[in-house]
Structure 1
Amino acid sequence: MQIFHIATAGDWEAAKASGAYTTSTLGRTLDEEGFIHASRREQVKPTFTRYYGDVHEPLLLLTIETDRLDVPWREDPVGDDTFPHLYGALSPSAVVRTQPLDRRGGTGSLTSVFVQEMAWRIGPLLLVMIVSGIGAALGGRSESEWGPFLGAMVGLVVGGAAAVAVLRRRG
C-alpha cells in the first residue's frame, strides 16, 4: 500500500543525508508529535490546502511504500475520518517517489513546476516592457521631442502598477 506525506525540500534533503526523516508535519518534529502525519491519496489535496497553502518554500510529495517501512504505522481516527500515522522515523528507502508540489498542491514534473515559477517571475517584467513600449510608440506620435520619453515613462508606471497587482494577487 502507498501512503503520502508532504515535506519541505529542505527537510527531505536533510533526511536523505542523515538516513532518517523525523518531521511530523510543518514545524513539528516526530518527538513533539509522537508520530509522522501521512495521508491517503485522496487526502493529499485537502491536507495541502489546509496546512501548506501559505508555505513559500519548495514542497515535495513523498510516496511511501508501507511494505518497506521498518516502523509501525496505522490508520488513526481524526475527526470523522482516519489518517495514516507512522510511529517512528521514516527511512528514505521506504520512499519510492518524490514529486514537487505546485502552488495549488498539485504534482507535476520538475520541469513544469520550474516553467510555472519562471512565468510568474518573468511575466510581470514582460508586462512592464510591453506597456512601456506601447507608451513610447504612442508618445512618438507627439510633436514634442519628449513624446517618446514621456510615453515610455507613463507606460512604465502603468505596467509597473499592473505587475505589482499581479504579484500581490499571487500572494
Structure 2
Amino acid sequence: MATIFHLALASEWAAAQRSGAYTTSTLGRSLAEEGFIHASRADQWTGVRERFYAEVTEPLVLLHIETDLLDVPVVEEPPAPGVTETFPHIYGRLPVTAVVKAIPLDGTPPRAPATPTAPAPEPGATFSSVFLREMFFNVLVASIAIVVSVLGIALGMAVGGDVAPGVLGLVGLVVGVGVAVLVYRRRHPKVA
C-alpha cells in the first residue's frame, strides 16, 4: 500500500466529504478540466505547497491517500512537457474512503519529514508512544527472521543427517531475513 498526498482547500474537502468524492485537480482546476487529480509523494508536497499554494489564504488540508483503496489508475508522469521529475496523477474521482487522513495545515511554512524513510507520526502523538510503537515493530521484524530460521533447523532435524539442520537452518535464516526486510521496507518506504 502506497501513500500519496494532495493539497486541498479545506472548503473543497468538506464538500467532497458531503458528496462522497473529491474532484478538484489542483488549485483552480477541476478533474473535468485537467483529466486527472494532481498528487505528490512524501518528498514532493512541501515543494508543491511552496510553489503553487504560497499565496493561498484559505485553510488547507493535506490529504493522505492510500493507492490500494482507489478504483482508478494512478500514473507516475511529469506534470508538463520537458519536466523530468514525475508526480503521481489520479485518473478519476477520488473517493473519500481512499483518504486515510486529512491534516489541517496552518500558516507556518511547510517542512519536510525529519527522516525521509520514517513514517510521519500521528498529530498529537507523544515521543514515548511513537518510540514504543517503532520498537515493537522492530522486535516483530527481528522475530520473523528468528522464527523462520528455527523452522529451517527443525525441518533439517526432521530430514536427518549431520548437515541438513545446518543447511536448512541457514536457508531459513536467509529466507527469514529476506521476509523481514520486505516487511520493514513496506512500513518504511524509501523516499527517492
- Residue 31 of structure 1: aligned partner: 32
Q: What is the Cα deviation at residue 102 of structure 1?
A: 2.2
Deviation digits for residues 119-143 of structure 1 (CA, Å, limit 9, x no counterpart): xxxxxxxxxxxxxxxxxxxxxxxxx
Q: What is the Cα deviation at residue 35 of structure 1?
A: 0.3
The separation in 2 between residues aligned to 1:11 and 1:5, in whole angstroms, is 12
- Residue 165 of structure 2: aligned partner: none
- Residue 66 of structure 2: aligned partner: 65
Structure 1: gaps spanning 5 or more residues: 111-171
Q: What is the Cα deviation at residue 109 of structure 1?
A: 4.9
- Provide the aligned C-alpha RMSD in A: 1.7
- Residue 7 of structure 2: aligned partner: 6
Residue number among 71, 76, 85 corresponding to 2:89 in the alignment: 85
Identity %: 55
Task: Give yes or no for the alignment of 1:40 onto 2:12.
Answer: no
Q: Is the 8 A contact 1:100 1:109 kept in 2?
A: no
Question: Which of structures 1 and 2 has the bigger CA Rg?
Answer: 1
Structure 2: gaps spanning 5 or more residues: 113-121, 125-192
Please state which structure has a larger fraction of its residues in helix. Answer: 1
Runs of 4+ in 1 over 2 A off after TM superposition: 105-110
Question: Number of matched residues?
Answer: 110
TM-score of the aligned structures, taking structure 2 as reference length: 0.55
TM-score of the aligned structures, taking structure 1 as reference length: 0.61
- Residue 100 of structure 2: aligned partner: 96
Q: Is the 8 A contact 1:5 1:61 kept in 2?
A: yes
Deviation digits for residues 66-86 of structure 1 (CA, Å, limit 9, x no counterpart): 000011111012312000000
- Residue 130 of structure 2: aligned partner: none
Local SS of the residue matching 2:15: helix
